[in-house]
Amino acid sequence: MKKNNWIPIFTSIFLFVILGLIYDSNMIRSLDDSAFKFFEFIRTDALDSFCYFLRDFGSSKMYLTFAVIVLVYSIIRKRIWTGLSLIITLLTARVVVSFLKDLYERPRPSSMYYVESGFSFPSGHAVMATAFFLTLGFILIVIQPAMMKHKKMIQFIVLLMIFLISMSRIYLHVHHFSDIIAGWLVGYVWYSICKNVFINLHERKQL
Output the pLDDT for position 205: 65
Question: What is the gyration radius of the CA atoms in the chain, in angstroms?
Answer: 18
Q: Return the amino acid letter for 67.
A: A
C-alpha 160, offset from chain centre: 12
Q: How many Cβ atoms are within 10 Å of 156's Cβ, its own excluded?
A: 12
- Please report, for the chain, the start and end positions of each structural domain, with discontinuous segments joined by +: 6-203
pLDDT beneath 70, residues of the chain: 1-4, 205-207
Distance set, CA 77 to CA 81, 87, 147 (Å): 11, 17, 14
pLDDT one-digit tens code per residue, 145-160? 777 788 889 999 999 9
Dist CA 188 CA 163 (whole Å): 13
pTM over 0.85: yes
